Structure 1
Amino acid sequence: MTATTLSRPGASASTASTPADAATDASGAPAAAARAARPRRYLMCRPTHFEVSYAINPWMDPAEPVDTGLAVAQWERLYRLFRELGHRVDLIDPLPGLPDMVYAANGATVVDGRVLGARFRNAERAAEGPAYLEWFRARGFATHDPAHVNEGEGDILLTGRYLLAGRGFRSVSAGHAEAQEFLGRPVIGLDLVDPRFYHLDTALSVLDGEEIMYYPGAFSAGSRRVLQQLFPDAVLVDEADAEAFGLNVVSDGLHVIHPEPATGVAARLRERGFRPIAMDLSELLKGGGSVKCCTLEIRE
């Protein structure tokens, strides 16, 4: 797939490039010439019923007005962008009474065509897990209804070798063990300690294979040491960009779609040969989610 500069309403007008003959950057990571976008398959849910009527994370404030129409418009831009970049996007029907169903990443974890369903900690979201699992079951996927709390790709992120699994605010260690048994990938448990970063996908993102970026302050001291040992060349993000949800991104191996305010993340990605694309999802951030939260990857 060739990368193009796209004109999109509400998004950054350009992508960044690096010299075509550079094989690596200063850190030794692959530069633009060595990177390639790989077509992906995603599942998304239109925010037809989006609102903030309760608070289950520090970003939610029911007293702050929400413009559902604007949330839909911002989501539509992200949906169109994925398709412009050559990715397949499936849609699950939004259900009344489930305003957070737009955050599709929380709905399951899909690896090698096997679907580990989600079990939510908060009662307000409990019905989302069965809804997503039924979508996959109806399409012939091998599914597992979990016995323990795990909140899908919100807390389980796949690298080339590992399932990185967050715990501390939502998902639990027993859910990690269940994921390892069903998905057949080794799990690395990581302790989240800052309630602003209540899901792993707000504190860490997988860019390509074993390349990750993360905000160290979101993790316990022991988990930081684990990340340093496993990913010594990781991109480290500062607190300001982490607070802007700059780690809640989607990467296809070349393009990295990120929240518009995370300008520092964009600069670091360009240094590594990625092509950042900024998106305005400010209305959906009122529910505590951004680009990645809206996107569940289907790995067949």
Structure 2
Amino acid sequence: MVKTPWILMCPPRFYGIEYEINPWMNRRVKSDPDKAARQWQALHDALIGLGAAVELLEPVEGLPDLVFTANAGLVYRDLFLSSRFRYGERQGETPVFDRWFAEHGFRVEHTPDGMHFEGAGDALFCGETLFAGYRFRSDARTMSWVGDRLGVEVLPLELVDPRYYHLDTCFCPIAPNAAIYFPGAFDEYGRSVLQDRIWTLIEVSAEEAFSFSCNAVVVGRSVLLNRGAPKLARELERLGFAAVPLDLTEFIKAGGSAKCLTFRLDGEDAASWRTAASAATG
């Protein structure tokens, strides 16, 4: 029995560009609150339409990036490994996320002091392996610690383009042996690791990566992503996936898109541990 996808989102009531902590943010380029709300709602409704159960986190004034729930932490079975944000502007989100996860039955743990870790933004399972981005937000040594804590193989990948500051902006597992990625976001070693370890690796062009097409949400065989990636959509459909394009331009102003706006509470579809857990309970 396949479990119902379980996703955490946060309405964009207090979302806005209030500071600059990545190259996409510019306080002079304001977000449109009404448009952002419509775009967020369209993503929410599309997920519901695909059969997902969506939990809502209460927005908090003064935490504009709380809407990007993907950065809350990392879930592995019933463990929630909470993020330790690099920038002070986002550190106030941690107690909000910790409280929610504790209230919903997760064991909440943190990385050691000084070890920056930005959750599912930089840590993504593809099969049994945890692919881990580092440099701009998370630390390489932290990712090794995460692997030891979870008892899983971790492959650290250095990010080299500050526009793709989180792994989920340039890499998206779509099945336990398949992923999409933008090669220009990685160094030569990182590209070789991805090419060696993932059977089906779909290369995204620089133009389509710039539209945040890699920052996608996968629900079964459906891939929800920002509009502006027709080549990727065709390739996904050739492989038997359904591309679901959405307008998420208001969130790209802050450096996020569909994946950033969601957190899979039950584990990503591409994670083998989730599939095994589902089979065991079925």
TM above 0.5: yes
Tell me what 1:208 maps to. 175
8 Å CA contact 2:67–2:261 kept in 1: the answer is: yes
1:233 pairs with one of 190, 200, 222 = 200
Kindly report which structure 2 residues correspond to 1:1-300, keeping only aligned pairs within 5 A, or say none: 39-147=4-112, 148-299=115-266
Contact 1:94–1:101 (CA under 8 A) maintained in structure 2:
yes
Residue pair 1:38, 1:252 contacting (<8 A) in 2 also: no
Taking a change above 3 Å as real, the CA distance of residues 68 and 43 of structure 1, as seen in their structure-2 partners, is: same
Counterparts of 1:113 and 1:262, CA distance in 2:
35
Between the aligned partners of 1:38 and 1:75, the Cα distance in structure 2 is: 24
C-alpha deviation, 1:193, in angstroms: 0.2
Deviations 1:128-186, CA, capped at 9 Å, x for gaps: 12211211012221111222211111000011111110001110022212321332221
Identity of aligned residues (%): 37
> TM-score, with normalisation over the residues of structure 1?
0.85
AA of the residue aligned to 2:262 = T
Contact 1:246–1:259, Cα closer than 8 Å, also in 2: yes
Could you tell me how far apart the structure 2 residues matched to 1:129 and 1:181 are? 22
TM-score normalized with structure 2 length: 0.91
Alpha carbons 2:177, 2:200 under 8 Å: kept: no
Cα distance, 1:80 vs. partner?
1.1
> Against the structure 1 CA distance between its residues 256 and 38, is the aligned structure 2 distance closer, same or farther, given a 3 Å change threshold?
farther
Could you tell me which amino acid in structure 2 is paired with residue 76 of structure 1?
A: Q
TM-superposed CA distance for 1:232, in Å, is 4.1
Give SS of 2:37's match.
Answer: helix
Q: Deviations over 1:26-68 (max 9, x none)?
A: xxxxxxxxxxx96311101111101101111111110012111
Q: Provide the secondary structure at the position in 1 that maps to 2:200.
A: coil
SS in 2 for 1:234: strand
For residues 130 and 149 of structure 1, what CA distance do their matches in structure 2 show? 16
Q: Distance in 1 between matches of 2:110 and 2:200?
A: 36
RMSD of Structure 2 on Structure 1 (CA):
1.5
Letter in 2 for 1:181: D
| Alpha-carbon separation, structure 2, partners of 1:38 and 1:115 | 19
Partner of residue 32, structure 1: none
Q: How many residues align?
A: 265
List runs of 5+ in structure 1 lacking aligned partners: 2-36
* 1:48 aligned partner, one-letter code: R
Residue deviations 1:51-101 (CA, integer Å, cap 9, x gap): 101111111110012111211111011111111110111111111100011
